[in-house]
Amino acid sequence: MTRILIVDTDTSRGEETAALVSEALPDGLKISLATDSESCTNLLDGPLLVDCILMDEQLVGSSQDGLLEDCLKKDPFLAIIVTGAGGCEDSAVDAMKRGAYDVYPWHKFTPVGLGRAIKNALSRAAMARQIEDQQNSLRTFAHVLVHDLRAPLRSVRGGVDMLLEDLPPDAQATHAETLGFIRNGAEHIDRLLVNLHRHCNVSDAPLERKDVPLSDIVTQVKDALRQDLMEHNAELVVRDTLPEVRGDPVQLTQLLQNLVGNGLKFNSSDAPRVEISARDHDEMWCIEISDNGIGIESSYIKEIFEPFRRLHTQTAFAGTGLGLATCRRIALRHGGSLSCSSVVGVGSTFVLNLPKPVACSAGEGGGGMVVNDAVAANAVR
C-alpha cells in the first residue's frame, strides 16, 4: 500500500489534490490530509506511516528549521514533493538541495503527471534507503575487518618475535630470513587493513566545509613529511601564491600529503623535487602537484586510481594500493576531480580541481556548489 500525506494550507485544494492522486493511483492507496505544520508533525509522530508527502511551499519554511527539515529528521527517506504556484527557480533549487525529491506547480496538476511524480519520488527514496543499508553493512564489515582481523595478526608478529628470542643462536641464523618473511607479511596485511578502513571512512566521515587557505595545508604537509624530505634530500616547492578553497581541512591535508608523499616515494632522483602551483579555472581552482619521479606509463594512468591497483612490487616500493583511490574519492566528495599526466623517467603531474570559496564563485550565494552530502545524494537522484 502506498501511503501519501497531503499538506496544504487550502483545505479545498488539498481535497482536489487527493482526488487527482486517487485517480492516478487507484490501487493500494491511503491518503491523509493536513493543513499546517503542527498537524503534519503530529500525524508523523503518531501511528501513521507515510511514504510520500505533497507539501505546500508555504509550509516548507526557511533552511534548517522548516517543516521540510522536521519531516526528514523523522524519516530521512521520505519522498517529499513540494507543491506551489511555481515560477521561482531559486526556491525550487533550494527545496531540492534541502531534501525534496521534486517541485510540482499547482497549475500543472494532472492525474498522469502527479502519478508519475509520486512514483519517481518513491523509487528514488527506495533506492536511497537501499544504498544507506548497503553502506551500513560495509561500515560494519570494515569495523570487523580492522578490529577483529588485526588481533590474530598481532599474535603472529608476537609469536615470531618470541620464537626468535627462544631459538639458540645457530638456529636463529638458519631461520631468521623465513621468520622475517612471516613477520613482514603480517605487517603488510595489517597496513592493508588500516588503509582499507581509512579508505572506507573517507566517504562516511561528515565533511566540515569551510574556506581553507591551501598555504596552511601545505605547511602541515611539510611538517608531517619533514623526516622524509630530509632522508631523501628532497625539496617541496610552492611556485605560486596558493588560494583559498572550499573544503574539509582534514581530508584536504590527507589528500595533498598522499600526493606529495608519492612524489617522494616513487622517485629515483638524487634530489627529489615536488612542486605545487595553482591557477584559476572558472569556478574551480586548479592545483598541480608535479614531481621529477620515475613516471607512469600512459596505459596505466587510469588504473592507478583503482583500489588495490599497484604497478610495482612490494619490494620495489612499499604500499597498499589505496592511496590514490582515496585521494580521488576525497576530490569527488568535494565536488572536484583528480587526474594525472606523466612521462616515464621524467615525472608526473597530478591535477586537482577544487571549488573556490563561496564569495569567489560568480553567482553562487551558496547555491552554486554542493553544500552537504545530502545535496550530493539528491544530485544522484
Contact predicate 85/57, CB 8 Å: yes
For residue 171, give the C-alpha cell.
638456529
**Quick one: pLDDT band at residue 371, thresholds 50, 70, 90?**
very low
Other C-beta atoms closer than 10 Å to the C-beta of 234 total: 20
H or E element that contains 352: strand 347-355
Q: Taking 90 as the threshold, does the pLDDT of residue 349 lie above it?
A: yes
What mean pLDDT is reported for the chain? 82
Residue range 39-45: mean pLDDT, rounded: 88
C-alpha span between 376 and 94 (Å, rounded) = 13
C-alpha span between 354 and 209 (Å, rounded) = 12
Q: Taking 70 as the threshold, does the pLDDT of residue 205 lie above it?
A: no
pLDDT attached to residue 112: 92
Q: Taking 80 as the threshold, does the pLDDT of residue 224 lie above it?
A: yes
Residue range 170-187: mean pLDDT, rounded: 82
pLDDT attached to residue 201: 63
C-alpha span between 241 and 160 (Å, rounded) = 51
* pLDDT single digits (tens) 250-278: 889 989 998 999 999 888 889 999 999 99
**Quick one: pLDDT band at residue 282, thresholds 50, 70, 90?**
confident
Share of the chain above pLDDT 70, in %: 84
Residues sharing a CB contact under 8 Å with residue 50, sequence separation 6 or more, in sequence order: 3, 4, 5, 32, 43, 44, 75, 78
Share of the chain above pLDDT 90, in %: 33
Q: Taking 60 as the threshold, does the pLDDT of residue 376 lie above it?
A: no
pLDDT attached to residue 156: 84
Q: Taking 50 as the threshold, does the pLDDT of residue 379 lie above it?
A: no
pLDDT attached to residue 173: 79
Q: Give buried/exposed letters for 258-283 (b at 16+ CB in 10 A, else e).
A: bbbbbbbbbbeeeebbbbbbbeeeeb
- pTM for this structure? 0.52
Q: Taking 50 as the threshold, does the pLDDT of residue 293 lie above it?
A: yes
* pLDDT single digits (tens) 107-131: 889 999 999 999 999 999 999 888 8
Q: Give buried/exposed letters for 118-127 (b at 16+ CB in 10 A, else e).
A: beebbebbee
Q: Taking 50 as the threshold, does the pLDDT of residue 373 lie above it?
A: no
Q: Taking 70 as the threshold, does the pLDDT of residue 308 lie above it?
A: no
Q: Where are the alpha helices (DSSP H) in 55-166?
A: 67-74, 89-97, 111-166
pLDDT attached to residue 89: 80
For residue 30, give the C-alpha cell.
491511503
